[in-house]
């Protein structure tokens, strides 16, 4: 379980961004989480609940946007949502493709904070 160290990085990164914006408190952290990021949503939420104490983020919530995997299919010349990460193939024509265009994200999009 490496989610705890990931959450520490989330808190650190968000707190740095908040300090740069002269915020006094952060109420929400918006995270973009790809299915192939290697981090588990429920574990992130669990760790977050006790990792913000004593920081600008205390009492804030972690808002996670789940991002499905998107692959590029050359025969279809189109980016397609991948419904099943056990099968990297175009859901329309069935051609295998490892050309991932979305789904590895583990990034903070924005924070909601109070600025005096």
Partner 1 sequence: MTPRIVEVRKKVLSKNDELAHILRERLHAAGVFTLNLVSSPGTGKTALLQKTLAAMLARGKKVAALVGDLETDNDARRLAESGAPVRQIQTHGCCHLEANMIASHLEGWELNTIDTLFIENVGNLVCPASYDLGEDMRVALLSVTEGEDKPLKYPTMFHSSDVAVITKMDLAEACDFDRDLAVANIRSVRPEMQVFEVSAKRGTGMDAWIEFLLRQKPQV
Summarize as ranges the residues that interact with partner 1 (CB under 8 A). Answer: 1-2, 5-6, 9-10, 13-14, 17-18, 21, 23-24, 27, 31, 36-39, 85-89, 96-98, 100, 106-116
* Residue 20 C-beta: closest distance to partner 1, Å: 8
- The token duo for 28 is 């929400």
Q: Closest CB to partner 1 among 49 and 109? A: 109
Q: Closest CB to partner 1 among 16 and 53? A: 16
* Residue 53 C-beta: closest distance to partner 1, Å: 19
Please choose, from the candidates 60, 46, 49, 50, the residue with its C-alpha nearest in 3D space to the C-alpha of residue 17: 60
Alpha helices in 2-101 (DSSP H): 3-20, 41-51
Q: Closest CB to partner 1 among 78 and 110? A: 110
Task: Give me the phi and psi of 16, to 5 degrees please.
Answer: -65, -45
Residues 88, 71 contacting (CB under 8 angstroms): yes
């Amino acid at each position: 379980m490496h989610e705890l160290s990931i959450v520490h990085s989330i808190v650190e990164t968000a707190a740095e961004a908040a300090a740069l914006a002269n915020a006094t408190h952060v109420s929400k952290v918006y995270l973009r989480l790809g299915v192939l990021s290697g981090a588990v949503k429920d574990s992130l939420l669990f760790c977050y609940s006790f990792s913000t104490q004593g920081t600008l983020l205390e009492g804030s919530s972690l808002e996670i946007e789940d991002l499905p995997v998107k692959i590029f299919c050359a025969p279809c010349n189109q980016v397609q949502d991948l419904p099943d990460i056990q099968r990297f193939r175009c859901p329309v024509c069935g051609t295998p493709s490892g050309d991932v265009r979305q789904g590895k994200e583990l990034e903070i999009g924005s924070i909601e904070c109070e600025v005096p």
